[in-house]
């Protein structure tokens, strides 16, 4: 897979600490039987290995100016935007001053046209 960093300021917010499917085991290669599900850490949908891959692919890319990875303990995939405490944390990560500055710069560019 050829995945590149978006090269724009990025904050990834994920839940962790929720049992999440890590792998499926088919004993003796018998795919006609239901697999054994091995659980690991994650948010109930996305496992931690995939979440950490973003930290590597995006966070370590020299073209990526700003990258922050926030992991909220005990929070499910949906809980990041529905759980009160998780939502407060998510909102606290929004860099309001950056949006204000970017808006002022855009207004300045438009005024020069």
Tens of pLDDT, residue by residue over 52-62, are 998 998 888 88
Q: 4 in a domain, yes or no?
A: no
**18 confidence band (pLDDT: 50, 70, 90):** very high
**98 confidence band (pLDDT: 50, 70, 90):** low
Q: 84 in a domain, yes or no?
A: yes
Tokens of 25: 């085991």
pLDDT over 60 (residue 110): no
In terms of Cα–Cα distance, which of 19, 18, 22 is closest to 72?
Answer: 18
User: In terms of residue numbers, what domain contains 85?
Assistant: 10-112
Tell me the torsion sign for CA atoms 30, 34, 39, 44: positive
pLDDT value of residue 106: 53
- Cβ distance 100 to 106 under 8 Å? no
- The total number of structural domains that make up the chain: 1
**What is the rounded CA–CA span in Å between residue 106 and residue 108?**
5
Q: What is the mean pLDDT of residues 24-32?
A: 92
Q: 1 in a domain, yes or no?
A: no
Judged by average pLDDT, the poorest of 56-65, 75-84, 90-99 is: 90-99
């Amino acid at each position: 897979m050829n995945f590149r960093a978006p090269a724009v300021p990025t904050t990834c917010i994920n839940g962790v600490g929720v049992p999440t499917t890590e792998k499926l085991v088919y004993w003796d290669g018998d795919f006609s039987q239901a697999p054994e599900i091995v659980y690991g850490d994650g948010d109930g949908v996305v496992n931690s290995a995939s979440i950490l891959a973003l930290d590597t692919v995006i966070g370590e890319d020299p073209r990526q100016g700003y990258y922050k990875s926030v992991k909220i303990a005990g929070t499910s995939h949906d809980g990041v935007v529905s759980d009160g405490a998780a939502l407060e944390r998510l909102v606290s990560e929004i860099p309001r001053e950056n949006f204000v500055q970017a808006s002022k710069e855009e207004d300045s560019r438009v005024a020069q046209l």
